[in-house]
């Protein structure tokens, strides 16, 4: 056998060939290009067309941005400097940057206060967002709303302290009474808190000077700060409210169920802008002049109601997605309703609902720009009103709205990345 | 205390609006600030500068009233209002005075129950078109698309004018002047129509103003002026005569430069003396201090100075006085006498 073989074959290699590099077309950039961009002639055509479009857009915008002027005093000067060449006039952003961030009425020597509150927001939000962090940080999260209120609005530190005391004492009363019945605990706690606030408001003299910061009225808030404040406050308030509404809608008690259904359906059936007009225009008819509720608070209430209704429906979807066995398992373990919800149902339902909730949070944050139509000067209101109406900057659009979209994009992209991390972190199914 | 105040206010508001409003002057004095409604931003008429200080022609009226009543032109709380929120803000008492390039019309005066105290700018609605369109008269605009601001009188005037001339058009509704500029430049509409002052201001900001023309037709009367609520005539008088004082000061040659001299002692002209309080008791009759008009004029200058500083020919807006000249110069400004 081997003889025949030796005779029929002229040459037999008895050493192994050295490994050769793969063919050029099957490796590195070329392979990637071939497989992804030019897999067949149709894809190749599309790629070339897309490249051409990208070239068109970039050749118009990149020189426009690169040639941008950053340090003139007015649009007319910008045009002089550019001298007929197309280029951006970013001077408006450098001159009005503080107004874009803080509005035009927040005292400039006090900018450090909202900036500090913003920096502290990260510390306060961290333990809520990343649960690997030490739990003790949550104490700071609890204190944060009061600190931020004091920093941004100013005034005596006694006001937030009394507000905090009301919450804490109310909670202790609730703890004591809740063992008897939930209703007694709930209403007892609420009543105590109100009593503390009432007495506190009565005791604190007007203009008390203890650690008083210069007061800034709500009307003076503005710019991107206003968007951030509305976004953060409304999202954090509407999440618990939305959970409560979603559970209420599934309740067996007809009254609670009815109230929740009517609330959700009514709020979902009305555009947000209508609610904002009600907050701004209608409510001032109902209150005597000068004694109305603060406009910022009115807007917060309206936006919170609005997003709570949507979040409730998203969470209801999560609740509906759970197999009936989960509810029955909780019952068979002998858990009562709050325990079953807290330990078994909600953790699963909320996990399913994360993409939906984040979707609404991002949408809500962007919807805060709607307040510009009720003459509040958020970042869009600042651009459309005072900045474009000034004699120096009348006629600058792209640069300003680009700045606004960059600010919004950074925040919204951050939220979306966080939610994706959270979904990976919570993934318990074994794929 | 608070409850009774609330109930009291409700009763007052419900039973006699005039009783609640009658005390506007006292309210302003007690507050130490004048709440003045302005626009959220209109070039030359009202806009905050880089430091957040309000400037403009309408702002000048607010400051003059504050100076007349409180003696301090900076004692003003400017409340920015949009075309949609301005009337409710005034009716609900959130502001004491609205100085927001608002057209004086029958229904606003009678039906909405406001008192227009005078006219601080005579405007009229005009049209702007690109030169390349080759249009020289508004009657040639058949079938054109027109950008108009919603919720304003311009919308109604446009419909009236085109209907009476049997011209068809397609409206493109827009919210603010800034938006209109962009739409017009982007070619979303062939014509932009608004008050002629606004058109001039808008054209001045274009990169190539020469490529756009204002058509000769002025299709409406737009007397713009400050207004107050019905029911408090004393307060209305104060605002009316402050405006008249600014106009009279220009007629009599009283400026912010020479006012200190003129007011220090009674001069030869009895009307100037009465105006500036060196003679007679006009201030007392009005319920304010004797030097009220002097303060009002010193705040930002007389009518002519305000005009030149904010919207006049030396500014980028570059409006000519036109109808807004003194009656002695062929304009419509005609203040009743101070006596």
Write the DSSP string, A42-107.
Answer: HHHHHHHHHHHHHHHHHHHHHHHHHT-B-S-SSHHHHHHHHTTS---BTHHHHHHHHHHHH-SSS-
Q: Are residues A187 and A333 in the same domain?
A: no
pLDDT value of residue A116: 94
Helix (H) or strand (E) holding A8: helix A2-8
For residue B127, which phi and psi values (nearest 5 degrees)?
Answer: -125, 140
| Within a domain: A122 | no
A47 and chain B: CB distance < 8 Å anywhere? no
| Within a domain: A74 | no
pLDDT value of residue A242: 94
| Within a domain: A379 | yes
pLDDT value of residue B17: 42
Residues of A in contact with B85 (CB under 8 A): 280-281, 374-375
| Within a domain: A346 | yes
| Within a domain: A124 | no
**B207 vs A195 pLDDT, higher one:** A195
Nearest to A395 by CA among B72, B76, B44, B206: B206
DSSP A423: H
Of A133-137, B7-11, B66-70, B71-75, the least confident = B7-11
Residues of B in contact with A395 (CB under 8 A): 181, 205-207
**B223 pairs with which residues across the strands?**
B122
What pTM does this model have?
A: 0.79
SS3 B50: coil
CA dihedral (A280, A281, A283, A284) positive or negative: positive
Give Cα separations from B107 to B104, B114, B116 (angstroms).
9, 9, 12
| Within a domain: A45 | yes
What average pLDDT does this structure show over B109-125?
A: 92
Q: Are residues A356 and A401 in the same domain?
A: yes
Minimal-distance CA residue of chain A relative to B77: A219
Inter-chain touch A79–B182, beta carbons under 8 Å: no
A72 and chain B: CB distance < 8 Å anywhere? no
Distance CA B142, CA B326 (A): 38
Q: Are residues A202 and A252 in the same domain?
A: no
What is this model's ipTM?
0.70
A111, A273, A386, A402, best to mutate vs chain B, most B CBs in 10 Å: A386
Nearest to B118 by CA among B287, B308, B246, B29: B246
Q: What class has domain B24-122+223-329?
A: alpha beta
SS3 B318: coil
Q: Are residues A278 and A357 in the same domain?
A: yes
| Within a domain: A4 | no
When divided into structural domains, chain A yields a total of 3
Q: What is the domain-level CATH number for residue A251?
A: 1.10.3720.10
Strand ranges in chain B using DSSP code E only, listed in sequence order: 34-39, 47-48, 54-55, 76-81, 97-103, 114-116, 121-123, 125-130, 144-149, 169-174, 191-195, 212-214, 222-229
In angstroms, how far is CA A405 from the centroid of its own chain?
A: 14
Nearest to A381 by CA among B201, B85, B97: B85
- Percent of chain B past pLDDT 90, that is, above it, reads 49
Cβ atoms < 10 Å from Cβ of B34: 27
Q: Are residues A234 and A166 in the same domain?
A: no
Nearest to B267 by CA among B278, B282, B281: B278
Q: Are residues A194 and A224 in the same domain?
A: no
Q: Are residues A352 and A262 in the same domain?
A: yes
User: Would you state the structure tokens that stand for residue A267, as one six-digit string?
Assistant: 């709020």
Task: Kindly report the nearest CA distance between residue B214 and chain A, in angstroms.
Answer: 18
Given a cut of 70, the residues of chain A with pLDDT beneath it are 1-7, 204-210, 284, 287-292, 428-431
Inter-chain touch A386–B39, beta carbons under 8 Å: no
Residue A264 lies in domain: 91-106+220-426
SS3 B105: coil
A84 and chain B: CB distance < 8 Å anywhere? no
The full set of domain ranges for chain B reads 24-122+223-329, 125-220
Inter-chain touch A284–B43, beta carbons under 8 Å: no
Residues of A in contact with B52 (CB under 8 A): 99, 104-105, 108
**B103 pairs with which residues across the strands?**
B224
Q: How confident is the model at residue B205 (pLDDT cuts 50, 70, 90)?
A: confident
Q: Are residues A274 and A354 in the same domain?
A: yes
Task: Kindly report the nearest CA distance between residue A390 and chain B, in angstroms.
Answer: 6
A384 and chain B: CB distance < 8 Å anywhere? yes
**A198 vs B72 pLDDT, higher one:** B72
Residues of B in contact with A76 (CB under 8 A): 316
Give Cα separations from B123 to B78, B197, B327 (angstroms).
24, 7, 16
Residues of A in contact with B90 (CB under 8 A): none
Same fold? B24-122+223-329, B125-220? yes
Longest dimension (CA), chain A: 115
- List CB contacts of A30: < 8 A, sequence separation 6 or more: A24
Of A6-20, B90-104, B263-277, the least confident = A6-20
Are the C-beta atoms of B97 and B37 separated by less than 8 Å?
A: yes
Are the C-beta atoms of A235 and A362 separated by less than 8 Å?
A: no
pLDDT value of residue B7: 40
The percent helix, strand, coil of chain A (3-state, each to 5) is 75, 0, 25
Alpha-helix runs per DSSP H in A250-345: 254-268, 272-277, 283-286, 295-321, 324-332, 337-340
Compute the C-alpha angle B97/A104/B36, nearest 5°: 5
Are the C-beta atoms of B5 and A287 separated by less than 8 Å?
A: no
Tens-place pLDDT, residues A147-201: 999 999 888 888 888 888 888 888 888 888 877 777 778 888 888 888 888 888 7
pLDDT value of residue A2: 53
Are the C-beta atoms of B293 and B275 separated by less than 8 Å?
A: yes
In angstroms, how far is CA A152 from the centroid of its own chain?
A: 19
Q: Are residues A308 and A274 in the same domain?
A: yes
Inter-chain touch B93–A289, beta carbons under 8 Å: yes
Are the C-beta atoms of B113 and B87 separated by less than 8 Å?
A: no
pLDDT value of residue B13: 42
DSSP B316: S
Distance CA A201, CA B171 (A): 55
Distance CA A128, CA A122 (A): 10
State chain B's mean pLDDT as an integer: 86
Inter-chain touch A390–B80, beta carbons under 8 Å: no
Task: Kindly report the nearest CA distance between residue A289 and chain B, in angstroms.
Answer: 6
Is the predicted pLDDT of residue B171 greater than 70, yes or no?
A: yes
Q: Are residues A314 and A207 in the same domain?
A: no
- Percent of chain B past pLDDT 70, that is, above it, reads 94
Q: Are strands B121-123 and B222-229 parallel, antiparallel or unpaired?
A: antiparallel
User: Would you state the structure tokens that stand for residue B140, as one six-digit string?
Assistant: 């040639």
What average pLDDT does this structure show over B278-301?
A: 91
Written as one string, the DSSP assignment of A277-297 is HIIIIIHHHHSPTT-SPPHHH
pLDDT value of residue A424: 87
Nearest to B92 by CA among B198, B16, B13, B162: B13
Task: Kindly report the nearest CA distance between residue B204 and chain A, in angstroms.
Answer: 9
Inter-chain touch B52–A377, beta carbons under 8 Å: no
Distance CA A133, CA A355 (A): 23
SS3 A2: helix
pLDDT value of residue A209: 64
Nearest to A303 by CA among A372, A358, A376, A234: A234
pLDDT value of residue B18: 40
Q: Which fold has domain B125-220?
A: D-Maltodextrin-Binding Protein; domain 2 (3.40.190)
Minimal-distance CA residue of chain B relative to A76: B205
Q: Are strands B222-229 and B54-55 parallel, antiparallel or unpaired?
A: unpaired
A82 and chain B: CB distance < 8 Å anywhere? no
Distance CA A383, CA A103 (A): 10
pLDDT value of residue B50: 82
């Amino acid at each position: 056998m081997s003889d025949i073989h030796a005779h029929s074959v002229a040459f037999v290699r008895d050493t192994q060939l050295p490994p050769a590099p793969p063919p050029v077309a099957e490796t590195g950039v070329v392979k990637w290009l071939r497989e992804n961009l030019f897999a067949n002639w149709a894809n190749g055509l599309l790629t070339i067309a897309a490249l051409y479009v990208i070239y068109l857009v970039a050749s118009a915008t990149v020189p426009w941005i690169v040639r941008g002027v950053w340090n003139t005093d007015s649009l007319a000067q910008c045009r002089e400097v550019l001298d007929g060449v197309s280029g951006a006039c970013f001077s408006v952003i450098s001159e009005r940057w503080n107004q874009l961030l803080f509005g035009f009425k927040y005292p400039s020597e006090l900018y450090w206060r909202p900036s500090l509150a913003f920096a502290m927001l990260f510390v306060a939000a961290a333990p809520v967002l990343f649960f690997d962090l030490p739990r003790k940080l949550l104490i700071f999260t609890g204190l944060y709303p009061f600190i931020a209120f004091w920093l941004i609005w100013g005034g005596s530190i006694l006001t937030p302290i009394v507000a905090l005391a009301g919450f804490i004492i109310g909670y202790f009363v609730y703890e004591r009474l809740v063992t008897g019945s939930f209703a007694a605990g709930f209403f007892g706690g609420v009543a105590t808190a109100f009593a503390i606030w009432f007495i506190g408001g009565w005791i604190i003299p007007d203009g008390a000077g203890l650690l008083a910061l210069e007061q800034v009225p709500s009307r003076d808030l503005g710019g991107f700060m206003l968007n951030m404040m509305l976004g953060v406050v409304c999202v954090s308030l509407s999440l618990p409210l939305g959970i409560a509404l979603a559970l209420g809608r599934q309740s067996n008690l007809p009254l609670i169920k009815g109230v929740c259904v009517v609330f959700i359906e009514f709020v979902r059936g009305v555009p947000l802008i209508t609610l904002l007009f009600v907050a701004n225009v209608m409510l001032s008819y109902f209150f005597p002049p000068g004694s109305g509720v603060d406009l910022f608070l009115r807007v917060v209430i309206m936006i919170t109601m609005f997003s709570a209704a949507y979040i409730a429906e998203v969470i209801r979807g999560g609740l509906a997605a759970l197999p009936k066995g989960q509810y029955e398992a909780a019952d068979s373990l002998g858990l009562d309703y709050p325990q079953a919800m807290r330990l078994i149902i909600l953790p699963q339902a909320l996990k399913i609902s994360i993409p939906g909730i984040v979707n609404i949070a991002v949408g809500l944050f962007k919807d805060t720009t709607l307040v510009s139509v009720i003459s509040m000067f958020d970042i869009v209101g600042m651009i459309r009103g005072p900045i474009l109406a000034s004699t120096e900057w009348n006629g600058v659009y792209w640069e300003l709205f680009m700045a606004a979209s960059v600010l919004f994009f950074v925040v919204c992209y951050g939220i979306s990345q966080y939610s994706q991390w959270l979904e990976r972190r919570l993934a318990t199914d074994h794929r | 205390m608070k409850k009774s105040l609330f109930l009291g206010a409700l009763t007052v508001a419900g039973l006699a609006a005039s009783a609640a409003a009658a005390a506007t002057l006292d309210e302003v004095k007690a507050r130490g600030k004048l709440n003045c409604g302005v626009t959220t931003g209109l070039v030359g008429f009202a806009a905050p500068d880089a430091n957040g200080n309000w400037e403009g022609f309408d702002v000048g009226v607010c400051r003059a009233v504050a100076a007349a009543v409180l003696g301090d032109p900076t004692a003003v709380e400017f409340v920015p209002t949009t075309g949609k929120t301005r009337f409710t803000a005034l009716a609900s008492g959130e502001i004491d005075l609205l100085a927001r390039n608002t057209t004086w019309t029958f229904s606003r005066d009678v039906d909405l129950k406001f008192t227009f105290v005078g006219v601080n700018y005579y405007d009229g609605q005009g049209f702007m078109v690109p030169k390349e369109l080759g249009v020289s008269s508004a009657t040639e605009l058949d079938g054109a698309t027109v950008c108009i601001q919603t919720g304003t009188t311009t919308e109604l005037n446009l419909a009236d004018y085109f209907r009476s001339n049997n011209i068809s058009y397609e409206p493109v509704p827009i919210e603010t002047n800034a938006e209109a500029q962009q739409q017009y430049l982007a070619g979303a509409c062939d014509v932009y129509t608004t008050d002629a002052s606004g058109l001039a201001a808008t054209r001045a900001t274009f990169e190539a103003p020469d490529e756009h023309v204002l058509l000769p037709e002025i299709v409406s009367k737009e007397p713009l002026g400050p207004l107050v609520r019905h029911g408090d005539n004393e307060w209305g008088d104060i605002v009316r005569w402050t405006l008249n004082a600014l106009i009279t000061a220009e007629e009599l040659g009283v400026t912010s430069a020479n006012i200190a001299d003129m007011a220090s002692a009674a001069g030869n002209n009895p009307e100037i003396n009465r105006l500036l309080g060196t003679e007679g008791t006009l201030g007392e009759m009005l319920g304010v201090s004797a030097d009220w008009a002097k303060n009002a004029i010193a705040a930002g200058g007389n009518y002519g100075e305000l005009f030149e500083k904010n919207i006049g020919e030396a500014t980028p807006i570059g409006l000519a006085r036109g109808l807004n000249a003194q009656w002695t110069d062929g304009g419509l400004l005609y203040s009743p006498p101070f006596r």
